[in-house]
């Protein structure tokens, strides 16, 4: 709050400029004012960013076999493609063929079809047949700093058009969440989803060994961490910067202990978003091919601990085995190597290596830093396709 007071004068100037530029575009598209601005002479950066980005965020309602769930989505283009989470459109992995409806910021209710889902990244694309849509302006999540102001826009608890703000708390955080791949048939869709389709439950990495080819029950995501209030229903919605550009797709929250009724508490200031640079690649592949690809290294790893330490702190991913003929083997990785980074992204445990590799496309090239017998080294790897393993 002190920092906001010090920067208030400069922020207001930029915010008013952004407001002026956005109001013209909103008028041309005929969209209603979803973010109320009563005093344009006293507009801050959060208000301006929300005015710009809100017309590109929709509320999604999903129904299947008597179960319903609400989430959010981001308009990608004028063709009606909308980015959201897989767990939103599969009701947490219980529905294979749901009915999906979308409500835009100007109040239109539209039928939507699922273009494709990618459970490995928990991203999905749906499509509506509509005109006068406002595609989101996409930013560059690789240019973010810890401490940058961010704004979450979505429909927490079904409350459409909700805006909250905070900062980027951490970059390159790895979280473990339950996979929400849709069932092959709707035979089990009568089961009530644990989170009502509105959001993942956050589960911290358990430190166990993790083979990259395994992941049927859990997935590992490299995410942005923010203290902007995110609740169930924000899933699939936008995390934007102060320029109104989307820099993340809200995906999960960490919750305190469950209440007496077995329900999770709301936001405790620890929320997560998938970086937009990664999400954009996945969305483009889904739109073009109906599915997305993920890299494969071909090593199994376990957490590496500091030498002579009995603590649970980890310092990398210890290679436990290398599959013969795999990309990892061809690059010279050996049992006992400790991987410490992928393309400059820190690797602190087994899960973060899995997340970093699967962020890459099949056939992608990465530089892996590792230590062998206490000496630092690096190698370039052309990744395989995880779908073929």
Q: Is-contact 129 80, C-beta < 8 A?
A: yes
Q: Check residue 51 and report its DSSP letter.
A: H
87 catalytic per annotation: yes
Residue of 22, 56, 81, 87 marked active site = 87
Residue of 189, 235, 300, 386 marked active site = 235
Dist CA 319 CA 371 (whole Å): 11
Instruction: Kindly give, in sequence order, each residue whose CB lies less than 8 Å from that of residue 31, ignoring residues fewer than 6 positions away.
Output: 55, 105, 106, 132, 134
Instruction: Kindly give, in sequence order, each residue whose CB lies less than 8 Å from that of residue 140, ignoring residues fewer than 6 positions away.
Output: 247, 276, 277
Dist CA 292 CA 90 (whole Å): 17
Strands 375-382 and 384-385: unpaired
Residue of 122, 165, 318, 369 marked active site = 122
Cα→Cα distances 311→207, 304, 348, 389, Å: 12, 11, 14, 34
380 catalytic per annotation: no
Phi-psi region of 157 (alpha: psi -120 to 50; beta: other; left: phi over 0): left
132 catalytic per annotation: no
As annotated, the active-site residues are: 87, 122, 235
């Amino acid at each position: 709050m002190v920092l906001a007071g010090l920067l208030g004068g400069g922020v207001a100037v930029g915010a008013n400029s952004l407001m002026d530029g956005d109001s013209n575009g909103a008028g041309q598209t005929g969209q209603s004012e979803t973010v109320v601005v009563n005093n344009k002479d006293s507009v801050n950066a959060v208000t301006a960013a929300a005015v710009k980005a809100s017309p590109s965020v929709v509320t999604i309602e999903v129904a299947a076999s008597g179960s319903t769930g609400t989430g959010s989505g981001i308009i990608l283009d004028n063709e009606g493609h909308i980015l959201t989470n897989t767990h939103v459109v599969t009701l947490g992995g219980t529905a294979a063929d749901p009915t999906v409806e979308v409500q835009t910021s100007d109040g239109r209710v539209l039928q939507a079809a699922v273009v494709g889902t990618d459970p490995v990244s928990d991203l999905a694309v749906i499509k509506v047949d509509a005109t006068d849509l406002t595609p989101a302006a996409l930013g560059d999540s690789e240019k973010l700093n810890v401490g940058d102001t961010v704004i979450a826009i979505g429909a927490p608890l079904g409350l459409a058009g909700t805006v909250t703000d905070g900062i980027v708390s951490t970059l390159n955080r790895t979280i473990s969440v339950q996979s929400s791949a849709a069932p092959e048939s709707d035979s089990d869709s009568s089961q009530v989803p644990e989170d009502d389709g509105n959001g993942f439950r956050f589960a911290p990495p358990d430190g166990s060994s993790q083979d990259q080819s395994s992941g049927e029950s859990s997935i590992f995501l490299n995410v942005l961490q923010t203290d902007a209030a995110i609740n169930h229903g924000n899933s699939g919605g936008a995390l934007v910067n102060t320029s109104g550009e989307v820099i993340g797709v809200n995906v999960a929250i960490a919750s305190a202990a469950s209440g007496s009724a077995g329900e999770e508490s709301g936001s405790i200031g620890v929320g997560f978003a998938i970086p937009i640079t990664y999400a954009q690649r996945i969305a483009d592949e889904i739109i073009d091919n109906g599915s997305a690809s993920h890299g494969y290294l071909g090593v199994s790893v376990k957490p590496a601990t500091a030498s002579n330490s009995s603590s649970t702190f980890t310092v990398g991913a210890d290679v436990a085995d290398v599959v013969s003929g795999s990309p990892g083997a061809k690059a010279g990785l050996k049992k006992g190597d400790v991987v410490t980074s992928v393309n400059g992204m820190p690797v602190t445990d087994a899960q973060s290596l899995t997340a970093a590799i699967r962020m890459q496309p099949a056939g992608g090239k990465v530089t892996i830093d590792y230590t062998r017998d206490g000496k630092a080294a690096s190698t370039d790897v052309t990744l395989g396709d995880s779908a073929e393993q």
